[in-house]
Amino acid sequence: MNQNPKILSGTELSSAVFSKLSNRIVNLKNKSITPTLAVILVGENPASKVYVRNKTKRFEDLSLESKTILFDQDVSEAELINKISELNSDVNIHGILVQLPLPGHIDSEKILLSINPIKDVDGFHPYNLGHLAAGVPTFIPCTPKGIMRFFEHYDYELKGKHVVVVGRSNIVGRPISILTSLKKKYSDATTTICHSGSKNIYNYTKVADIIILAIGSPNFLKAEHIKNGAIVIDVGINRIIDSNGKPILVGDADFTSLKNKVEAITPVPGGVGPMTIAMLVENTVEAAEKLTKHS
């Protein structure tokens, strides 16, 4: 049993990321360029609105620009694509983000495909996902990119380790499975993906050195499901009602159960979430730099 687990603070690590970005931001501003993100938000999804508000605040704190474009729930695909086309052509917009999920009548793939890949700071365009799959990433999806920073910052070398990823979405599970297995420093792991079609996921988590959880199932992973000294990265953000009837946020990992058995664990909130926003900022700065070189 580990009585002193390392709590991997995304709040602290994101501050370090912003400090490192400051010179790059100043260099751009000296050329009269302010990295600018356009966020498209459709409908009234409360979680999406909170997430967009957090992104906007972080951009403001860093004296960057973030413009939120609101659409009603019943907006048509054509309207969204027309707006994205405008943003693609706007030289003052460096990054475009469409907040997911979109309403059911809209084809998310078609919308994401309409974003110019050099402004796709979320990394979801097939062009950028294809580069990632080929091992030559351009824009990396923000949450997986943030997870890899934990390993780099805390010097957790993955070579020879067994990583188990629980979840296979294009937003987290699939990209992080590629990143952890790339032949490079802080990667080169043997990576297993588990998902809803896997039989007895716990058989895999019990032998994993590192477990990355992204399934949206509150407190799914408990102490009996891991080996001593495992590292747990918790991407889940689940709103539940506690024993006092109050709403609280919990992850996919049962933090209380796990904390004395793991070598290290990310908390919820304050773990992966802040790093997702930090990587969005970094990708937007990078997009501004690339577009400046090409202009």
Residues 41 and 111 in one domain: yes
For residue 162, what is the enclosing H or E element? strand 162-166
Both 98 and 153 in one domain: the answer is: no
* Active-site residue, 99 included: yes
Among the listed residues 119, 120, 122, 234, the single catalytic one is: 122
Q: 278-287, pLDDT tens digit by residue?
A: 999 999 999 9
Burial per residue of 137-152, b for 16 or more beta-carbon CB atoms within 10 angstroms, e otherwise: bbbbbbbbbbbbbbbe
CATH (domain of 265): 3.40.50.720
Same structural domain, 110 and 175: no
Question: Comparing C-alpha atoms, which of 115, 100, 25 is closest to residue 61?
Answer: 25
The predicted model scores a pTM of: 0.95
Question: Which letter does DSSP use for residue 260 in this model?
Answer: T
Catalytic: 242? no
Enclosing domain of residue 97: 32-117
User: Of these residues, 55, 119, 145, 261, which one is catalytic?
Assistant: 55
User: Which among 99, 120, 252, 259 is annotated as catalytic?
Assistant: 99
| 278 close to 18: Cβ distance less than 8 angstroms | yes
Q: Is residue 109 situated within a structural domain?
A: yes
Domain count of the fold of the chain: 2
Query: pLDDT-based confidence at 44, cuts 50/70/90?
Result: confident
Q: Looking at the domain assignment, is residue 24 inside a domain?
A: no
Residue 3 appears among annotated catalytic residues: no
pLDDT per position as a tens digit, 201-225:
999 999 999 999 999 999 999 999 9
Q: Look up residue 23 and give its two tokens.
A: 């010179």
The C-alpha atoms of residue 236 and residue 253 are separated, in whole angstroms, by 8
Do 156 and 249 belong to one domain?
yes
Compute the distance between CA of residue 23 and CA of residue 8 in angstroms, rounded to an integer: 26
